[in-house]
Structure formats: C-alpha cells, structure tokens
C-alpha cells in the first residue's frame, strides 16, 4: 500500500503551497518539500524488494466492469524514473526558492510544479496503459502552466501554446496507439500487455500501433521533426527548464519507448524508425546548439541532441544498447539539470543569458564557474566523469550494430561527428562564458549566488564525478534492474569500469575531443558560413500554420452559419430526409396486418375541420391574428382527437394548455408586428412547399405504417399493478405520479427552469408598445369591462372548486395535478384579463417563483420521504380510511407528489403569463428591475 502513497502524497502536496501561499518564502518551500520527501523515503524503502527483481504492485478498483482500476506497478525502470523525478524535484524546489523573485506567486509556482511531479510519477508508476495516458496528458497540461508561468511575456505564452499543441497532439496519437494495443491484447493492464509481445508483433495492426505510440513518444521527447517546441519552451523559468526539459518530462517519451521495448521492439520497423529518428535528432541538435547565443538555447538543443542519442540507443539491435540508454538517462539528467541550474544562476546574477555579452565570469563567480565547467565537461564526455562512460558505451554499441545492413558503418561515423559538435558546444559553454575577455554591457555586476542556491548544483555535480569514478558501486544494481525491465528478461554480461583498454570507442572519444576543440577554435568561419542561411523561426512558421488553420475554420463556419434560421432548419430537414430514405425504402409494405377501425361520420367531420383549419393557419399566416385563431381551432380539434381515441387525460390537458397558449400568443402578438410582409420569392416558396410536403408525407407514412402493425407493449404491467401497487384506477395518472415519478420530477423541474428563464428574459425587455391597433384606431378606454369583471369574479370560486375536484379525483378518474394546475392558472389569468393587474396584485400577494420552488420542493421531499422508511427514492404509500360521517377515502403519498406537480404547473404558468401581461402596465418587471 506504500506504493499508492508514493503517488498520492505529491498529489495531496499540490495543495500545500496554495494553502501556505501567505507564509514566508522559505516556509513555503520547506512545507512544499515535505510530501515529495516522504514519497522519496517510501520509494527508497521499496528499493531492496525492487533490487531483488520483484515487481511491486497495488491497485484500487474503480470501475471493475469496464476493466478500469487505479493500478500501480513498480519495477526497476519505474524505480529509476521515480527516483529521478523525486530526487531532482526536491533539488528544484530548493533552487526555485532562490530563483523566483518576490514578485512571483511562489505558492502557485510550487503547486504547478508538484502537480507536474505527480503527473510524471503517475506515468512511470502506472500499471494500466490508459491510466498512463491520463497522466501523460496531465504532464502536458501542467507543463503548459509552468512554461507560461510568466504569462505577461508573449514568448512564454506562445512557447507554452506550442509545447501544448505538439505534445497534446502527440498525446492523442498515443491514445489511439494504446487503445489499439489494448484491443489487440484484450487488456489494458500493463503486466498483461508486456507479456503479449509476440501477439502484438505478429498482429496486422502492429505497424499502426507502433507508429502511433512512437508519435507520442517522439513529440514528447522532442525528436526530429517535432523538436522545435523545446527551444521555445525555454521561456519558462529556469527551474522548470532544469526539471521538465532536461531531467523528466522530455524523458517521458524515452520512458515510453523503454516501457514498451519488450513488446514493440525487436522488429525491423522499430529499429529503422527509432534509430534513424534518433540519429537525425542527435546530429541536428548538436549542430544547431553550437550556434545558439542564448545559454538556455544552447542547452535546449544540446538536450535535443542527447535525447536523440538515447533514442538511437533504444533503436539499435545490439545486446547492450538498452543498458547504455538507461545509463545515459541517468547521466544526462545529472549533468544537464546542473547545467541548467548554473545557467539560471548566471542569468539571475548577471541579468542576461546572451553569450555575446557574457564573458570572463570566472573572475566574478569562480565557484559556480567550477561547478558548471565540471558539468559541461561531463556533457562533452571527458574521462572520469559520468558522461564519458555512457558515451563510451554508446560508441561501442554503434560499432556493434548492423541496423543499416551494409551501410551500418555510417552510424559510428555520424555518431562521432555528433560527438565532435557536442564537444564544441560544451567548449563554448565553458570558454565563452567564463573566459574570453571581459563582460560586455551586463545589466548587473555578476556575483556568486546565495549559498543554498548553489547546493542543488553541488549535489548534482558531485554525482557526476562520483558516478564517473565509481560507476559500479553507485548505480550498478539500479542500472541492471532498470535495464532488465527494459529488455524484459535476463541481462547480458557487461562491465561498468572506467578503463577498457585502448580500443576503438576510446579512439572515437579522442577524435571527438580533438575535433570539437578544433571546431571551437575556428568557430568564426563556421559562424560566418551559418550566417549565410536565413535563421528559420519555428515560432513564426508554427503561428502561421495555426493562423491559416483558424482562417480555414472561420471560412467554413461563415459558409455554414449565415445567421439564417431558415437555412439551418432546411439543412436539418434535408439531412433527416436523407437518413429516413434508406429505412423507408427497405419497408416493403406501407400497411401492416392490423385491421383498421371503421371511419365514423363524426370523426370524419373532425378530420375535415382539422385539415381546413391547419391549411388556413398556413395560408393566412401573413395575417397573424387570423392565423392564430385558426391555430386555436387546430388545437381544439387535437384535444377532441385525444378524447375520441380513449385519452381523456390528454384531452383535458390539451384543452387547458390550449387556452394558456392562446393567451400567451395573443399577448406576444400585441408587441409584435400584426402582419408578416410578403418576402419569399417564388423559388423559395416552391422549395419550402416541396420539403414541407415531403416531410409531411414521410411522417404520415411512418405513422400509418406504425399504427397498422401489431404492438407488443409493456403496458399490461401498468394496467395490472396500477390498483394493487399504486392504489389508483386511473392508470395514466398512476404512471405519472408513481411508476414513472422520477421522470415526472425531471419534467416539472424542466418546466420550472423554463419559467425562470422566461422570467429573466422578460425582466430586461424594452419593448415598443403600440398605442393604436393596426388600423390606427386607439385602444378602447374601457380596459376592464364591468360585465366581464363580475362574471369572472363570480366564476373564480367555481373554477377553483373544479380544479380541486379534478386534482382529488385524479388518482382514480381522469384528472390530476397537471390538469388541475392548468385549470387554476386559467382561472387566475382570467382575473388578470378581466380586472387588471392592480386588482389581482392587491388580492394575491405572492411571488410565483416561490410557488414553483415550493412545488418542486414538495415533490422532492415526497420522494425523499420514502428513504425514512428505508425504501428507494419515490416509493409510494397509500391506505384507505373511514372517518365518521363521510365515505371511505384513500390517502396516498402520491397525492402529495401530485400536489408538488400542481404547484409547479400553477407557478410556472402564471410566472410566464402574468409577467408578460404586466409588461403593459406600471407593474412591469422591467421597470421594477430598473428601479
């Protein structure tokens, strides 16, 4: 279980710097370091087991049915990387304490840093490849935050964006690759994947999976041609560059290749792609690094070159290449992180990183200079330092490989050339900065950094030295465990001594050393030659591509989106028609085997009326009021149709909804133009008529085909259980408030939300109110005729009584909360119409929002109530009572639920209609809001 804490502690530790943000800077740094430190101790405690060759694992089940668990796995390779991440991470925390200025938000910086640390640990410790991918993306995101930490700088933002785009796109490719692997293997468990090497390599989809995974790895590890994001990521604060861009994140791609080495490597395709990419990157990085005037730029290209070296090693089919790769991962992390930190110190204490200005710093900071020189010598591969050892191994392996067949001799030659440039840029780093005359126009007078800022550098440089002299004692076991988990089996014999006698690799080292120094000495000619080429600016190219892409997208959007609802609806309908065409053609006979009901005269008359009124609605649509009246006839006939076909509840609902809809439409029409101008040209009319006819025809046909076919319904269940289970004989109502109560709860919630939305829309509405009707006549001065007022006033109690009756009988006869609510609303609306807003306001002081709210609350509470009795949400209860004097009656919890429905419907309807109506008066919510 300690394994989970190694990951969990840094994750929790992310919060520490945020909580401590107001404390002193040293305190923040100290508190931040605690969680990673404990994690490091836990990791080291696990070391003996790992060095025994065991694989530690832990898992927490998450969604077992989908095969998703939080799975952790610690083997030699994961141990090595976790050690680097936590160890260097701690040094970086110390370093950043002195690097960041008091203006920087230190808590935030540390939080991002620890988040990144967690993400990296997640990658290396993952025992599930999808989980690995998740953390992989998390490193992209947290590195985006870190690179853009100084977000006021344009280059930081652009660099961060570029890094995120490249690594993010690579991450998507990786996801595809991992999904493919999971599909082939049949499991996403890392252990199972690693055991299925032969299965994977022989599968037809192997090349695709390989290339996708490699795309992810190459983009993350800045391999050619994706290398260009790394130099631009140097806009990050130097601790970030030292941590992410030398020691950890860029090695995530390397880690990925090493992790999948046992299953993906071993084929021609792997060796060819990986070694050639590595070689290309190695040469390119080494060459370009020499010409960078920016200290960090030089280090960035040097990092690219070394990453290429490791990639090349992983891509060579020799026995010891993986050992050399793992060894170089360790060595590169130590010397490159310390060099970045030294560069940061120089930048911090002298105010610039430009090597044309930086000269002769030896006099000002001899101590730092010594440290940096040792580290740079290790980078160049000087004997007695760790860089030398792994470089020797690398040379030995290049001589051993046969990757390119008869052209294989080119690899060691090119590797030596790469090493020559590596020596040259290292020499430049030492000579150009610390010697070579006096500094030129430095913004600050350079001096030694604070004591503890140097400590991390000292530790890493000491490691470079110690690893260089006593390799076998210090990293022997670690190296062998990590390498054997890369190979996935027994390691061949190898020796880690510093002296192998006079041999070809030593000669290559010697050549590189001499050649590098010679090139550096004669660098002026080379610089002049290089100046002939225009310097390619990856940022410009990249931004150009992005802008062109955005341009294309805008063009497409503009083409599609012309702000015309007509076009959207037309396209949607067209798409629907196309989609429906296939199934419709497949349907052989329109008519099913169902015997049709005979047509009776009354229904026929109804259908005729419906046809006429629907057509009239359309034909007269430009005269809006008349069209509206026709529409109300259609609505009336629809409710009659419901009544005709055995749906009394629907008929009642439709009827009352019809009334409120018409009032609503009439109210709206008051504010809108009274007629629609003639605008459609004949072509448009023909087009619209045809598509309307087609859609109508298709829908009608589908409907006919459906209702003439037999039905196998689940409704018999509701019919059988309505009385015994729900205590009501009106099955429709019992379904609403009992069987499907949850759905109804959702629906009244939607109703409430819609009403609230409408209210908010009304509140800010500034509308033109016509003072005359469309013929120019003034409105009648008698706004509230007395007859109407008296009649509706006396009808109100009756209407309310009716609604109570409908509500109460709803469980057993047609009726219920929905209908009763609508009836009540209509009755109250009628008061508004007949008596005016003032009259109603004086007599009914309530906010309809509260009515909606209490309705929803009651419905919800009723549902929750069943929990008290240990039943599932919305279980209903009912019983019968026989009090004296009156007849036996039933009480059911469903009635309480129905009361909630009732209140919501009343509240929502009135909130919409009354507020809209108030717009015409001095009680307008718009005025109220303003006041």
Radius of gyration of the chain (CA): 39
**Closest approach of Cβ 853 to another protein, in Å?**
16
**Torsion on CA atoms 575, 581, 583, 585, rounded to nearest 10:** 180
Shortest reach from residue 873's CB to another protein, in Å? 19
Q: What span, in angstroms and rounded, lies between the C-alpha atoms of 832 and 841? A: 9
Integer CA distances (angstroms), 578 to 129, 561, 569, in order:
41, 21, 14
Nearer to another protein, 507 or 750 (CB): 750
Query: In terms of C-beta density within 10 A (0-12 exposed, 13-18 middle, 19 or more buried), how is residue 356 classed?
Result: exposed
Q: Which residues does 183 contact at the CB level (< 8 Å), separation at least 6?
A: 205
- Least separation in angstroms between CB 149 and another protein: 42
How far apart (Å, rounded) are the C-alpha atoms in residues 442 and 446? 8
Nearer to another protein, 674 or 793 (CB): 674
CA distance 430 to 522: 16
Least distance CB 773 / another protein (angstroms): 16
Q: Among residues 536 and 677, whose Cβ is nearest to another protein?
A: 677
Question: How near is the Cβ of 39 to another protein at its closest, in Å?
Answer: 54
225 prior amide bond cis, ω within 30: yes
Query: With the CA atoms of 795, 801, 807 and 811 taken in that order, what torsion angle do they form, in degrees rounded to the nearest 10?
Result: -130
Nearer to another protein, 114 or 736 (CB): 736
Q: Are strands 68-74 and 56-63 parallel, antiparallel or unpaired?
A: antiparallel
Tokens representing 611 are 């046809």
Contacts for 549 with CB less than 8 Å, ≥ 6 apart: none
Read off the tokens for 22: 């107001």
- Shortest distance, CB of residue 925 to another protein, whole angstroms? 12
Pick between residue 230 and residue 660 the one whose CB is nearest to another protein. Answer: 660
Residue 763 or 802: the one with the smaller Cβ distance to another protein is 763
For another protein, the closer of residues 26 and 590 by Cβ is 590
Left (φ > 0), alpha (ψ -120 to 50) or beta: where does 726 sit? alpha
Q: Alpha-carbon distance 725 to 878, whole Å?
A: 9
Q: Where are the alpha helices (DSSP H) in 381-470?
A: 386-400, 410-434, 451-469
537 or 596, CB closer to another protein? 596
CA atoms within 13 A on the CB side of 542: 18
For the CB of residue 716, give the shortest distance to another protein in the complex, in Å.
Answer: 9
What's the CA gap between 349 and 285, in Å, rounded?
28
Closest C-alpha among 650, 656, 613, 662 to residue 633: 613
For residue 63, what are the β-bridge partners? 68
In the complex, minimum distance from the CB of residue 268 to another protein, in angstroms, rounded to a whole number: 58
C-beta closer to another protein: residue 328 or 624: 624
Q: 83 is written with which tokens?
A: 């050690």
Closest CA to 417 of 511, 325, 529: 511
CB of 560 to another protein, least distance (A): 12
Q: Which letter, b or e, does each residue of 306-320 get, where b requires 16 or more Cβ atoms within 10 Å of its Cβ?
A: bbbbbbbbbbbbbeb
Cβ at position 858, least distance to another protein in Å: 17
Q: How far is the CB of 573 from another protein (least distance, A)?
A: 7
Nearer to another protein, 656 or 893 (CB): 656
For the bound state, the minimum distance from the C-beta of residue 931 to another protein, rounded and expressed in Å, comes to 19
Instruction: For residue 811, give the nearest of 889, 905, 720 by alpha carbon.
Output: 889
Q: Which residue reads 């060095």 in tokens?
A: 51
- Residue 488 Rama label (left phi>0; alpha psi -120 to 50; beta): left
Largest CA distance in the chain: 120
What single DSSP character describes residue 407?
G
Compare residues 478 and 912 and give the one whose CB is closer to another protein: 912
Quickly list DSSP for 822-850: HHHHHHHHHHHHHH-HHHHHHH----HHH
Based on CB atoms, which residue is closest to another protein, 768 or 885?
Answer: 768
| Shortest CB 739 distance to another protein, Å | 8
Which C-beta is closer to another protein: that of 466 or that of 669? Answer: 669
Smaller CB separation from another protein, 193 or 631: 631
CB of 593 to another protein, least distance (A): 12
């Amino acid at each position: 279980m300690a394994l989970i804490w190694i990951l969990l502690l840094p994750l929790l530790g992310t919060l520490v710097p945020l909580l401590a943000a107001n404390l002193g800077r040293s305190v923040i740094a100290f508190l931040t370091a605690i969680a990673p430190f404990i994690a490091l101790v836990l990791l080291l405690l696990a070391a003996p087991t790992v060095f025994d060759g065991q694989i530690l694992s832990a898992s927490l089940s998450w969604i077992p049915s989908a095969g998703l668990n939080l799975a952790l796995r610690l083997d030699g390779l994961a141990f090595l990387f976790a050690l680097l991440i936590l160890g260097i991470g701690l040094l970086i925390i110390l370093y950043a304490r002195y690097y960041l200025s008091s203006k920087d938000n230190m808590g935030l910086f540390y939080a991002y840093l620890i988040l990144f640390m967690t993400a990296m640990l997640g990658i290396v410790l993952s025992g599930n490849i999808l989980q690995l991918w998740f953390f992989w993306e998390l490193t992209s995101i947290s590195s985006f935050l870190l690179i853009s930490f100084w977000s006021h700088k344009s280059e930081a933002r652009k660099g961060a964006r570029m890094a995120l785009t490249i690594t993010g796109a690579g991450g998507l490719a990786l996801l595809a690759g991992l999904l493919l692997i999971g599909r082939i293997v049949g499991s996403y468990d890392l252990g199972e994947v690693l055991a299925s090497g032969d299965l994977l390599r022989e599968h037809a989809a192997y090349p695709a999976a390989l290339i996708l995974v490699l795309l992810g790895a190459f983009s993350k590890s800045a391999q050619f041609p994706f290398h260009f994001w790394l130099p631009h990521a140097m806009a990050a604060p130097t601790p970030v560059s030292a941590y992410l861009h030398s020691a950890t994140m860029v090695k995530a791609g390397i880690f990925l290749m090493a992790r999948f080495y046992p299953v993906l490597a071993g084929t021609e395709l792997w060796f060819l792609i990986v070694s050639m990419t590595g070689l290309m990157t190695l040469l390119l990085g080494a060459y370009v690094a020499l010409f960078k005037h920016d200290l960090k730029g030089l280090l960035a290209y040097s990092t690219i070159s070394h990453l290429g070296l490791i990639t090349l090693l992983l891509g060579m089919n020799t026995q010891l290449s993986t050992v050399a790769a793992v060894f170089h991962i360790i060595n590169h992390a130590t010397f490159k992180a310390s060099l970045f930190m030294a560069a940061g110190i120089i930048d911090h204490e002298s105010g610039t990183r430009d090597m044309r200005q930086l000269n002769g710093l030896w006099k000002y900071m001899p101590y730092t200079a010594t440290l940096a020189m040792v580290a740079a010598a290790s980078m160049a591969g000087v004997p007695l330092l760790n860089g030398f050892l792994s470089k020797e191994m690398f040379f030995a392996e290049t001589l051993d490989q046969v990757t390119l067949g008869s052209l294989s001799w080119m690899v060691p030659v090119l590797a030596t050339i790469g090493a020559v440039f590596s020596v040259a840029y290292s020499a430049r780093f030492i000579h150009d900065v610390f010697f070579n005359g006096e500094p030129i126009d430095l913004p600050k007078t350079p001096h030694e950094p604070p004591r503890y800022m140097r400590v991390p550098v000292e530790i890493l440089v000491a490691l470079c030295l110690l690893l260089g002299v006593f390799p076998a004692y210090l990293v022997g076991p670690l190296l062998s465990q990590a390498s054997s988990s890369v190979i996935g089996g027994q390691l061949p014999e190898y020796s880690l001594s510093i002296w192998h006698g006079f041999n070809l690799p030593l000669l290559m080292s010697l050549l590189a050393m001499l050649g590098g120094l010679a090139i550096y000495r004669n660098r002026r000619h080379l610089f002049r030659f290089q100046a002939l080429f225009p310097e390619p600016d990856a940022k410009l190219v990249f931004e150009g591509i992005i802008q062109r892409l955005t341009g294309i997208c805008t063009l497409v959007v503009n083409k599609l989106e012309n702000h015309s609802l007509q076009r959207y609806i037309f396209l949607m309908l067209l798409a629907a028609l196309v989609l429906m065409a296939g199934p419709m053609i497949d349907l052989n006979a329109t008519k099913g085997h169902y015997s049709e009901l005979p047509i009776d005269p009354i229904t026929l008359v109804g259908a005729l009326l419906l046809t006429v009124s629907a057509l009239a609605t359309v034909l007269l649509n430009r005269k809006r009021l008349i069209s509206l009246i026709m529409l109300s006839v259609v609505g009336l006939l629809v409710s009659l149709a419901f009544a005709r076909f055995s749906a009394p509840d629907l008929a009642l609902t439709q009827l009352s909804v019809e009334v409120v809809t018409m009032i609503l439409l009439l109210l709206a029409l008051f504010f809108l133009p009274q007629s629609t101008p003639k605008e459609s040209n004949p072509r448009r009319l023909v087009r619209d008529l045809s598509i309307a006819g087609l859609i109508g025809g298709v829908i009608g046909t589908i409907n006919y085909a459906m209702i003439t076919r037999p039905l196998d319904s689940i409704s018999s269940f509701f019919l059988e259980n309505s009385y015994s289970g729900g205590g009501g004989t009106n099955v429709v109502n019992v379904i609403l408030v009992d069987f499907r109560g949850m759905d109804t709860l959702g629906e009244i919630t939607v109703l409430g939300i819609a009403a609230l939305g409408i209210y908010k829309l009304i509140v800010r509405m500034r509308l033109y109110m016509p003072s005359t009707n469309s013929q120019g006549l003034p409105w009648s001065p008698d706004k509230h005729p007395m007859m109407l007022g008296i009649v509706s006033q006396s009808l109100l109690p009756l209407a309310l009584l009716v609604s109570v009756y409908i509500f109460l009988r709803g469980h057993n006869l047609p009726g219920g909360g929905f209908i009763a609510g609508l009836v009540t609303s209509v009755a109250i609306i009628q008061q508004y119409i007949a008596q005016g807003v003032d009259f109603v306001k004086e007599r009914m002081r309530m906010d309809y929002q509260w009515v909606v709210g209490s309705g929803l609350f009651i419905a919800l509470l009723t549902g929750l109530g069943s929990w008290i009795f240990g039943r599932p949400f919305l279980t209903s209860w009912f019983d019968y009572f026989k009090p004296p004097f009156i007849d036996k009656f039933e009480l059911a919890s469903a009635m309480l639920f129905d009361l909630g429905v009732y209140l919501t419907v009343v509240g929502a309807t009135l909130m919409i209609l009354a507020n809209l109506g108030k717009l015409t008066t001095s009680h307008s919510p718009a005025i109220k809001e303003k006041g």
